[in-house]
């Protein structure tokens, strides 16, 4: 059985586990400038490095509900069909 050399690291930003080795294999172009992921590959996951990580897109669930109004009424979908 071949042992994998991939080391799972934990992103300092979002806490997600990731593997630099896998990213290097799948998306090697991010490691070179202008992205220059090599500078942060061992600290941050690729998503956070590119500013598209979980922390860059807060989920709407964290938003307090209440003064709504933008919700789609259930009847709208029924009428369209």
Question: From residue 73, how far is each of 14, 32, 64, 69, 76 by CA, in Å?
Answer: 35, 48, 20, 10, 6
CB-nearer residue toward Zn ion: 52 or 69: 52
Q: What is the DSSP letter of 36?
A: -
Contacts of 21 (CB under 8 A, 6+ apart): 5, 6, 7
Residues 7-46 that bind Zn ion (CB under 5 A): 11, 13-14, 45
| Shortest distance in whole angstroms from residue 80 CB to Zn ion | 39
CB-nearer residue toward Zn ion: 32 or 57: 57
| Shortest distance in whole angstroms from residue 9 CB to Zn ion | 10
User: Residue numbers of the site for Zn ion (CB under 5 A)?
Assistant: 11, 13-14, 45, 48, 53
């Amino acid at each position: 059985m071949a042992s994998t050399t991939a080391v799972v690291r934990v992103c300092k930003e979002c806490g997600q586990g990731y593997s630099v080795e896998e990213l290097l294999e799948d998306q090697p172009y991010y490691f070179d400038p202008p992205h220059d992921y090599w500078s942060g590959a061992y600290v941050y996951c690729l998503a956070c490095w590119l500013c598209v990580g979980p922390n860059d897109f807060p989920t709407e669930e964290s938003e307090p509900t209440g003064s709504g109004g933008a919700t789609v009424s259930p009847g709208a979908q029924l009428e369209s069909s």
